[in-house]
Amino acid sequence: MKKIFVLDTNVLLHDPEALFKFEDNDVVIPITVIEEIDRFKKDQNETGRNARHISRILDGMRENRGLTEGVKLETGGMLRVEIYRADYLKKLPPELQVDRGDNRILAVAMKLQETCDCKVVFVTKDTNLRIKSDALDLPAEDYESDKVSIEDLYPGASHLELDKDVIDRFYGQGYLDLPGEYHPNHCLTLVDKSNPSHTALGRYNKAMQQVVPLIRIPKDGIWGIHSRNREQQFALDMLMNDDIQLVTLVGKAGTGKTLLAIAAGLLKVADENLYNRLLVSRPVFPMGKDLGFLPGDIEEKLAPWMQPIFDNVELLLGNVEDHGKRKRGYKELVDMGFLEIEALTYIRGRSIPRQFLIVDEAQNLTPHEIKTIITRAGEGTKIVLTGDPYQIDNPYVDSSSNGLTYVVEKFKEQQIAGHIILTKGERSPLAELAANLL
């Protein structure tokens, strides 16, 4: 039986295409939602762009037939705008009869439930509004079309127990035929059944259906950086592999995500000249209270946000003395044209060819923002996304709906993408203990 889904404002501001994601069921938008969307249309951020997008979609549908009468959707359902009337609030408990936007929307959904024979479901990303709806016996759901459960997130690596002679053959011939259901570039630890200490590390080549060895790292490391655990070895292999154009590194604080990505990027740009520039960016979201507007030009404004990037570059360069003075560090690389720091705010509309692009703290981006970034990639560009889904400062996404986990799930079947979850902290014993206990 068909259902009626009543959409809250935050659903459409999160995903303007949500109208088309309810299969052959009917979709109802209370008129109050249209009014609230109008308040966001002038904002110069993602929410403002989504508000303008949904307005254009509804305006296009309006031309064919009145929205209050209902417009046929390609999915088979009907879309209509429901008018609110003052007496609808009387259907709510006295505490909710205050004339506010949330209460108006809730009242419209309650009125539909009363007058319609089919099931009415209220869809909102507002937790408290779902609780109120449930208390009124009105079914309520979160909008989860683009959600990826963090507990079920693709890990990117696994163990495989084999006989001793199979592992010896892998070492001897440099590959191992392994028809299986592994995703492309899945990282494997081959373990000897009889001797668990006898292991081998490899990456699954889906096209050849073979496990291939990891790329050999120079003895002096990558800009002095060596892997300290198995996951970091897997990460460096994907970062150094030029056939893998999109790498996602997920892990808690201190696991080395950003440091490994920057080290690999500097090697590819400065030493191997495979890319024109190392472009590093991160979303601007403060932890805690915002300090307000920052003085200076664009470089000075970005400096506090990009300081973690500068710290990693300084670590790679080392504290080198030059005539008694410390070298300029990251500024030297900027002046030489190897390194560029840029705010994601200005990436829309750009085309980025032959660059090694690192987006740090990508868990603070929405799926649409991530799409905007990846679609900027020109010929020969490699993109690395790093982040921790448990440390999110963006109030509009969570561990399941952020752009980083969204990309991991969407790209896990693609030959040009690789992913690994880093679990062991290597920053310091104190940082590792804090990440686990706090």
* Residue 130's CATH number: 3.40.50.1010
Q: For position 327, what pLDDT does the model report?
A: 52
Last residue of a domain, one of 141, 167, 182: 141
Q: How many structural domains compose the chain?
A: 2
Over the stretch 152-192, which tens digit does the pLDDT of each residue have?
A: 899 999 999 999 999 999 999 999 999 878 999 999 999 99
Q: How much is the average pLDDT of 255-275?
A: 93
Total Cβ atoms within 10 A of residue 55: 17
Average pLDDT, the chain: 87
In the prediction, which pLDDT does 297 show? 58
> What is the residue whose two structure tokens read 């505490």?
95
pLDDT surpassing 50 at residue 361: yes
Q: Does residue 242 have a pLDDT over 60?
A: yes
Instruction: Give Cα separations from 415 to 103, 136, 295, 362 (angstroms).
Output: 49, 49, 45, 22
Residues 255 and 362 both lie in one domain = yes
Q: Is residue 234 assigned to a domain?
A: yes
Do 237 and 109 lie in one domain? The reply is no
Q: pLDDT tens for residues 318-349?
A: 733 444 444 556 777 888 888 888 777 667 66
pLDDT tens digits, residue range 20-56? 999 899 999 999 999 999 999 988 777 888 999 999 9
Q: For the chain, what percent of residues have pLDDT higher than 70?
A: 91
Question: What pLDDT, on the 0 to 100 scale, is given for residue 288?
Answer: 42
Block residue for tokens 């509804």: 58
> Which one of 82-96, 133-147, 249-263 scores highest in mean pLDDT?
249-263
136 and 252 inside one domain: no
Which residue has tokens 């655990």?
229
Query: Is residue 179 domain-resident?
Result: no
Among 129-133, 202-206, 213-217, 311-315, the least confident range: 311-315
Residue 189 lies in a domain: no
Same domain for 133 and 258: no
pLDDT of residue 161: 94
Residues 124 and 255 in one domain: no
Q: Are residues 307 and 419 in the same domain?
A: yes
Range of the domain at 338: 225-437
Q: Are residues 120 and 237 in the same domain?
A: no
For residue range 401-423, list pLDDT tens digits in order. Answer: 889 999 999 999 999 999 999 99
The answer to whether position 58 is within a domain reads yes
Of 122, 141, 160, at which residue does a domain stop?
Answer: 141
Whether residue 32 is contained in a domain is answered as yes
Residue with tokens 């056939």: 243
Average pLDDT estimate for 247-262: 93
Residue 264 and residue 118 share a domain: no
Q: Are residues 134 and 25 in the same domain?
A: yes
Out of 105, 122, 141, a domain closes at 141
155 within domain boundaries: no
Q: Note whether residue 33 is domain-resident.
A: yes
CATH code of the domain in which 375 resides = 3.40.50.300
pLDDT band for 214, please (50, 70, 90 cuts).
very high
- Same domain for 231 and 108? no
In whole angstroms, what is the distance from residue 432 CA to residue 67 CA?
A: 56
Is 175 part of a structural domain of the chain? no
State whether 137 and 232 are in the same domain.
Answer: no
